Structure 1
Amino acid sequence: MHRRHQLVHAVLAAGLTTVPPELAAEVDVEFGDFGGFLQEVQRRWHRAFDARLDEVLEQQPQDIHDALVRLWRDLALTMPAARLMLDANADHPALVEPAEQHRRLLHAATGVVLSPAPLTEPPEGRGKRCLWALLLRTSIT
């Protein structure tokens, strides 16, 4: 586990949307492939989001939508490299089903329904679809 943590940290510290070539062999050995690595980054994001979500729900905000947007933005500022990696690879097959499952769980916990509308381009023209739009395009049921 310690090696996996170090490797995720090293890859994300590079600030890229892929694994740096000098770490690719280690990532493949430790995570199986790039998809396995992405799933680990996604799990870490979801765990951090869910831990903060518990705090938000305990406060019983009147506007849950705004509270979730703030939560998402604050976490993205705390974990910018993870968010960049996930946003840039949002359509990777390894991320699609876990992201959908997390959206369903978020809906069950908060009543917020994430829109199936197409994802938007990220800021700064990175050219990949952006998961930010999932949270920003929500409605209350």
Structure 2
Amino acid sequence: MSWDRVHRRHRLVHAVLASGLTTVPFERAAEVDAEFGDFGGFLQEVQGRWYRAFNARLDALLEQPPQDLRDALVRLWRDLALTMPAARLMLDANADHPALVEADDQHRRLLHAATGVVLSPAPLATR
């Protein structure tokens, strides 16, 4: 992927999330479809950004694991939601979208494999 495309996608994700909506604003729909294929592709981009940020923080956390790892993971999730509120709002509002389900399930499995902790979406809800 070229730098131009990376920057274009970044600006577009930022603009859509800055709208505060949980869908793509009408005036951005054609641009999102052209860049990401459809709303599902856009959601996957937001989800990928979320999990990259989460995993970076997870790596730091696991360098010196706390005694209550489950609680620390929930706090990590919630703290990231405060850092990336528009992304979390978009992902939570569209959690049942088919484009998100597989990666969410995979991340839960990988998190369990890495930490031994099973986190369901319920304790992670930020609303």
TM-score relative to the length of structure 1: 0.82
The aligned residue for residue 97 of structure 1 is: 102
How many positions carry a matched residue from both structures? 120
Which letter maps to 1:24? A
Distance in 1, matches of 2:123 and 2:35, equals 30
**RCO higher in 1 or 2 (8 Å CA, sep ≥ 6)?**
2
Distance in 2, matches of 1:109 and 1:134, equals 19
Distance in 1, matches of 2:99 and 2:123, equals 18
Distance in 1, matches of 2:53 and 2:117, equals 19
Secondary structure of the corresponding residue to residue 16 of structure 1: coil
Q: Offset at 1:25? A: 0.3
Return the match for 2:87 from 53, 71, 82: 82
Name whichever structure is richer in helix by fraction: 2
The aligned residue for residue 109 of structure 1 is: 114
Note the residue ranges of structure 1 that are not aligned, 5 or more in a row.
116-130, 137-141
Q: Deviations over 1:26-51 (max 9, x none)?
A: 00000000000000000000000000
Distance in 2, matches of 1:21 and 1:60, equals 45
Question: Which consecutive segments of 4 or more residues in structure 1 shift more than 3 A?
Answer: none
Note the residue ranges of structure 2 that are not aligned, 5 or more in a row.
1-5
